[in-house]
Amino acid sequence: MFISKSIKMSLSMVILMTAFQHVQAHTVLEMPTISDGKKVTNNIDIGHGCKEFPVIGTSVVIPDGIDSTIMTNAADEGGKDGFSGDISSFINWGNKIRLLQNRSVFSEQGEKTVDSNVVGFWSGGGPGVAADLDAYVPFIINPANIEPSSCAKKVRFAIAIADVCKITPLSGISDETAVNLWTPAVGSKYDGLKDSHAYNSPAYLSIERDLAINPLPENCGDGLYVYVEPSAAQVDRDMPIIFNGTQVWPAP
Ligand SMILES: [Cu+2]
């Protein structure tokens, strides 16, 4: 009797402790790697809330390729070389994203556009995503072609995402209760704190060259990996959520 009671007690303790541990995955793309030249439906996979607080909205910034930082490497790790040319040397990037209407997770959504190019999107409103569950925010990626004359084998974009749990001004952003920042540390206002658990953990989208359809030129050897990060200026410009002409997050 006494033993079974204490087993029950410790079992519920374990369940409780597990619930409050950080065991869930980061926010990522459902399909982090896609093929070049193909239209793909993908999802932002919201990984967890802010501690026990639900995510009530998400804001997404896609590198526009215009003032993005471009780097290359012959191997998919290690040091990266700067590249000062245009992104079109590697891929026909820009305005490839279309938000898919879906009110199952959040009640409102919208695209972010600059010169009628989509550079990100947001979705928010309603009761939000339970802190211990995942949720999908769907979008379309229109075909992006790796430049046939280039040596690019894979182009990896760092996507900046803010999962908002509480609406605060920029000064109130913390991953304790308010926001999870899945952003590349590029010096923007949304880098987050260096000791936060998701520091410099953006979501990535890799576009892989379909070598059967778009083979590497002979002089390319094993090909090049290309990395694209948004500029700090772009993240600062495109991260806020504007709803009906009014900025709703961060609170102005
Ligand atoms: Cu996490």
pLDDT tens digits, 60-78:
999 999 999 999 999 877 7
How much is the CA Rg of the chain, to the nearest whole Å?
20
Q: Mean pLDDT, to the nearest integer, of 197-218?
A: 96
pLDDT tens digits, 108-122:
999 999 999 999 999
Total of domains in the chain: 1
| Residue whose token pair is 């590029």 | 186
The one-letter amino acid at 212: A
User: Residue 78 has what pLDDT?
Assistant: 72
User: Measuring CA to CA, how many Å separate 26 from each of 30, 64, 199, 200, 201?
Assistant: 11, 23, 11, 12, 8
pLDDT over threshold 60, residue 145: yes
The structure tokens listed for 5 are 């009671």
C-alpha 37: how far from chain center: 21
The one-letter amino acid at 252: P
User: Measuring CA to CA, how many Å separate 182 from each of 72, 121, 122, 192, 245?
Assistant: 22, 15, 14, 9, 25
User: Measuring CA to CA, how many Å separate 117 from each of 49, 94, 95, 188, 251?
Assistant: 30, 7, 5, 21, 25
Going from the Cα of 243 to the center of ligand 1, the distance in angstroms, rounded, reads 27
Going from the Cα of 152 to the center of ligand 1, the distance in angstroms, rounded, reads 31
Element (H, E) at 233: helix 232-238
User: Residue 6 has what pLDDT?
Assistant: 53
Q: What is the largest CA-CA distance in the chain?
A: 77
Tell me the C-alpha distance between 234 and 181, whole Å.
16
Describe the strand order of the beta sheet including 28-29 as a list of residue ranges. Answer: 28-29, 40-46, 135-141, 97-99
pLDDT tens digits, 218-230:
999 999 999 999 9
At residue 79 the predicted structure's pLDDT band, cuts being 50, 70 and 90, is: confident
Going from the Cα of 83 to the center of ligand 1, the distance in angstroms, rounded, reads 32
Going from the Cα of 190 to the center of ligand 1, the distance in angstroms, rounded, reads 16
The CATH number that applies at residue 200 is 2.60.40.2230
Going from the Cα of 60 to the center of ligand 1, the distance in angstroms, rounded, reads 17
Going from the Cα of 50 to the center of ligand 1, the distance in angstroms, rounded, reads 9
At residue 17 the predicted structure's pLDDT band, cuts being 50, 70 and 90, is: very low
Going from the Cα of 182 to the center of ligand 1, the distance in angstroms, rounded, reads 9
Half-sphere exposure of 162 (CA within 13 A, CB side): 32
Tell me the C-alpha distance between 158 and 98, whole Å.
18
pTM score above 0.85 = yes
Going from the Cα of 198 to the center of ligand 1, the distance in angstroms, rounded, reads 6
Q: Mean pLDDT, to the nearest integer, of 89-96?
A: 97
Tell me the C-alpha distance between 55 and 129, whole Å.
5
Going from the Cα of 245 to the center of ligand 1, the distance in angstroms, rounded, reads 32
User: Residue 10 has what pLDDT?
Assistant: 55
pLDDT tens digits, 154-191:
999 999 999 999 999 999 988 778 999 999 999 999 99
Structural domain boundaries enclosing 42 = 2-249
At residue 5 the predicted structure's pLDDT band, cuts being 50, 70 and 90, is: low
Contacts of 126 (CB under 8 A, 6+ apart): 56, 103, 105, 106, 107
Going from the Cα of 22 to the center of ligand 1, the distance in angstroms, rounded, reads 7
DSSP state of 135: E
Going from the Cα of 48 to the center of ligand 1, the distance in angstroms, rounded, reads 7
User: Residue 1 has what pLDDT?
Assistant: 43
Element (H, E) at 8: helix 2-20
Going from the Cα of 222 to the center of ligand 1, the distance in angstroms, rounded, reads 35
